[in-house]
Amino acid sequence: MDLEPIGEDASLLLVDDDEPFLRRLAKAMEKRGFSVETADSVVAGKAIATARPPAYAVVDLRLEDGTGLDVVETIREHRPEARIVVLTGYGAIATAVAAVKIGATDYLSKPADATDVMNALLANGAELPPPPENPMSADRVRWEHIQRVYELCDRNVSETARRLNMHRRTLQRILAKRSPR
């Protein structure tokens, strides 16, 4: 796969409400040569996109105060040539289509590492990016999904079990175990 060079303007806007993920990704992208700005909400992302439209952006689809697609639209209005990757923990065809229609360059499911993000941002042409070198196991993906729903339910086991259509005791056993590799 051909990767374009970052270019003279290496400004990168990262918008995600997962603070630890945002910090890790920002640090990793700075090491790769980007000039990173971060935002943890739609409002903050739109403000940065309006004041200093970035050449590159990585935007989470679901944010606490709305949808990241609003940030994508704002970036497109102020900098049409920007390369934008939409990240989400909820991979679905409908949201991928919506993201691309609004102007996203690519769409990645969480958890994506900095290499995946960099490849998506700098991909040249319609060629598909290579598969990840060490993809997560199915057990790990399941565990990550359960943890995310558990956090979204404010660590309420009963509510999480109901949303996952799982018995509460089964969920408690899963949560008591260590994460799979």
Residues 23 and 108 in one domain: yes
pLDDT band at 47; cut points 50, 70, 90: very high
The CATH number of the domain holding residue 142 is 1.10.10.60
Contact present, 166 and 150 (Cβ < 8 Å) = no
Q: How many domains does the chain have?
A: 2
Residues 47 and 71 in one domain: yes
Residue 2 has pLDDT above 50, yes or no: no
Same domain, 154 and 111: no
- Residue 171 has a pLDDT of 92
Residue 74: per-residue pLDDT: 92
* Mean pLDDT across the chain: 83
Q: Cis bond leading into 131, ω under 30°?
A: no
Q: In CATH, what number is assigned to the domain containing residue 73?
A: 3.40.50.2300
Q: How far apart are CA 12 and CA 154, in angstroms?
A: 31
Note down the domain range covering 52.
Answer: 11-122
Instruction: For residues 13-23, give the mean pLDDT.
Output: 89
Verdict on whether the full-model pTM lies above 0.75: no
- Are 79 and 33 part of one and the same domain? yes
